[in-house]
Amino acid sequence: MLELHTSVQYVRGIGPRIASILAEKGISTVEDLLYYLPFRYEDRANPKSIAELRVGESASIIAEVRNSH
């Protein structure tokens, strides 16, 4: 059983490589991982068309690639 002070590299699915990436974000223990909360999110509940977007506004779009050279 994991303890709060256990290194994240011992969490199932996280090895030394991913633990190193997490360490760059200040996450080294299970407790750090639990308290790492997102600082932003994308609201995908009300999608907009490209024509509705404003200059400087961030958005996700769904697109189809029809040709590639």
- 8 Å CB contact between 8 and 19: yes
Residue 53 lies in a domain: no
Would you state the torsion angle of the CA atoms of residues 24, 10, 35, 18, taken in this order, to the nearest 10 degrees?
30
The 10s digit of each residue's pLDDT in 7-33 is 999 999 998 999 999 999 999 999 999
Residue 14 lies in a domain: yes
Write down the pTM of the prediction: 0.57
Residue 46 lies in a domain: no
Inter-residue long-range contacts of 60-63, CB under 8 Å, 24+ positions, other chains counted: none
pLDDT at 35 over 90: yes
What is the domain range of residue 4? 1-37
Residue 59 lies in a domain: no
State how many domains the chain has: 1
- Over range 51-63, report the average pLDDT: 85
pLDDT band at 66 (very low <50, low <70, confident <90, very high): very high
- Over range 27-50, report the average pLDDT: 88
Residue 42 lies in a domain: no
